[in-house]
A and B are shown apart, each in its own frame.
Chain A
């Protein structure tokens, strides 16, 4: 990721390396958001294209990941506002673990979905998530609370809820 300056200058090699470095993470996040591989591929491509187009304006106030996730969320919400495209077949056979993860996220609203993925999968802190999504820390905490309420039901947990240290 230290190729940032070269990417900004428009060096094609640096751009390819930058895309290659971010592609798996952005794709996985897109998969978590869309729940479908073909849609995730489109969303990840759109996100990285937008990232490349605006990388000159990236001031480094946040990490590149939070900046890219913010773009991804905007693109995802824009995709959802468009008329639905015809469903394309899912070309790969899914691992059961992937299927389970996607089913767990499936019914969450987009804001909760991305919050849960950033927190539980990417391991971002509440502050980083707030920065990426352009919301306040308490909003992230509230979304995580709702996520836990919803997923607790899905996971069939009867365990009493104890807030983790970071959520307090």
Chain B
């Protein structure tokens, strides 16, 4: 030990003189009841909405312009989705739409 170490140890040893407050009553926090995280509900809800928008709305056009619009909309929505799983599902949907667009364009 150097002189410096000794001096630091001596000064910091002053912490032992600190009065210690009364021991509080400490209890571990009760574990919260397990429930599905809100993000899961949000993800499920968005998935249903997505399914509805993609498959159930009859008015959607299937032409290249309509498909391109849907791709653009989906691309912008994916950027705002935080849920990893949902983003992955939407990514697959996007890939399908792009493929569909390619097929439509190749027929024309």
A residues with a Cβ closer than 8 A to B are 15-16, 19-20, 23-24, 27-28, 31-32, 37, 41, 45, 48-49, 52-53, 92, 94-102, 104-105, 116-117, 120-121, 147-148, 151-152, 155, 157, 159, 161-164
Q: Which B residues fall within an 8 A CB radius of A?
A: 1-5, 7-9, 11-21, 23-29
CB distance from B93 to the nearest CB of A (A): 38
Q: Is the CB of B24 within 8 A of A157?
A: no
B8 and A104 contact, CB distance less than 8 A:
yes
CB-CB < 8 A to B5: which residues of A?
120, 148, 164
Complex Cα spacing A51 to B73, Å: 48
What chain B residues lie within 8 Å of A164 (beta carbons)? 1-2, 5
Q: For the complex, would chain A's binding face be called helix, strand, loop or mixed by DSSP majority?
A: helix
A sample of 25 inter-chain contacts (CB < 8 A) reads: A15-B26, A15-B27, A27-B20, A27-B21, A28-B15, A28-B18, A28-B20, A45-B24, A45-B26, A49-B27, A49-B29, A53-B28, A97-B14, A98-B15, A98-B17, A104-B12, A105-B12, A116-B12, A148-B8, A155-B8, A157-B4, A159-B4, A161-B2, A161-B4, A164-B5
8 smallest CB-CB distances across A and B, nearest first, come from A97-B14, A101-B14, A52-B28, A53-B28, A95-B17, A98-B18, A24-B20, A120-B12
Residue in B closest to A91 when the chains form the complex, CB atoms: B21
Q: How far is the CA of A53 from the CA of B28 in the complex (A)?
A: 5
Q: How far is the CA of A151 from the CA of B4 in the complex (A)?
A: 9
The chain B residue with its CB closest to the CB of A49 is: B26
**Closest approach, in angstroms, between the C-beta of B33 and any C-beta of chain A?**
16
